Amino acid sequence: MSTRMTRRKMIATAVTAAAGVSGVGAAARIANRYGLIPPDHQGLYGVGETLTYAAQRVLTSGHSLAREFNRSQISPVAPVNGDPPTTESYLRHLDGAFAEWRLPIDGLVSRPASLSLADLKGMPSRSHITMQACEEGWSFIAEWTGAPLSSVLEMVGAAPQAKYVFFFCYDDWFESIDMADALHPQTLIAYGMNGQDLPPEHGAPARLKLPRQLGYKNLKYLSRITVTDTVNGVGKGLGGGAPEAGYSWYAGI
């Protein structure tokens, strides 16, 4: 009796374990299919990161909007981390009021383009008063104005197999975002802040504004945009400078 119970228990355990392993395998395939695995999913920290990214992607499906605020809530002073680039090319554009500045958009697009600041300002614009929260803990509210990234991607004809949009900057920083954020209505190539041109310390001439993620994903001093279907081949293949520096790729929390 007892041996039979033990054998039955063993079989049940083996079946459960097999189901568990194949279940995890199936879950991983489904998660990958629906874009629920972040580039920095490796290792023990990657487990937590994948849970966070997958949970937030499932939760925020359907273009939920980041909280927007009243004009009276705009912070009188907006602090920054770090100074504008001092490279020769950036200083030359700054001196020339960015008249010669161009933003190439290439990669998996059918009509690669190189947009001037005037081109960007000529596109239908969107403004929102949103919070920028730093992972360090501080936050401020400002009004941002720019061209929705979705309009820019539509203009250049981003391919259906596109999975990531990479952003490169004059300070040699780079990051990528997924298509859910790239096509989100609040995601802007922002050239205006609080009704003025974007000041150099806030990323002139144009920066990424991504109000559903923390400050460090909102890259400043944009120099190039590239649409890809993989994070491999760019830097160390982790999807950006933040994960290479030990910070999570997805910064929705």
Partner 1 sequence: MRHSLLVRITHWITAMSVAGLLVSGVAILIAHPRLYWGETGSVETSSLIDLPLTLTFGHSGWGRYLHFLSAWTIVLTGVVYVVSGFLTGHFRRHLLPSAEAASHYEPLQRLAYLVVVFALLPLIVLTGLAMSPAVTSVMPWLATMSGGHQSARTIHFFAAVAVTLFVIGHVTMVIVAGFAARVLAMITGGHETAQERV
- Residues of this chain that bind partner 1 (CB under 8 A): 44-45, 47-49, 51-52, 56, 59-60, 64-67, 69, 73, 75-79, 131, 133-141, 211-214, 245-248, 252-253
> What is the closest distance, in whole angstroms, from the C-beta atom of residue 128 to partner 1 in the complex?
12
Nearer to partner 1, 81 or 114 (CB): 81
Nearer to partner 1, 31 or 133 (CB): 133
Nearer to partner 1, 192 or 252 (CB): 252
> If you write DSSP's letter for every residue of the chain in order, what string do you get?
-HHHHHHHHHHHHHHHHHHHHHHHHHHHHHHHHTT---TT--HHHHHHHHHHHHHHHHHTTTTPPPP---GGGS-SS---SSPPP--HHHHHHHHTTTSS-EEEEEESBSS-EEEEHHHHHHS--EEEEEEEE-TTS-EEEEEEEEEEHHHHHHHHTB-TT--EEEEEETTS-EEEEEHHHHT-TT-EEEEEETTEEPPGGGTTT-EEE-TTS-GGGS--SEEEEEEES-STTSTTTTSBHHHHTTS-S----
Nearer to partner 1, 101 or 174 (CB): 174
Nearer to partner 1, 58 or 99 (CB): 58
Nearer to partner 1, 26 or 51 (CB): 51
Look up residue 20 and give its amino acid: G
> What is the closest distance, in whole angstroms, from the C-beta atom of residue 152 to partner 1 in the complex?
22
> What is the closest distance, in whole angstroms, from the C-beta atom of residue 110 to partner 1 in the complex?
31
> What is the closest distance, in whole angstroms, from the C-beta atom of residue 236 to partner 1 in the complex?
15
> What is the closest distance, in whole angstroms, from the C-beta atom of residue 64 to partner 1 in the complex?
4
> What is the closest distance, in whole angstroms, from the C-beta atom of residue 111 to partner 1 in the complex?
31
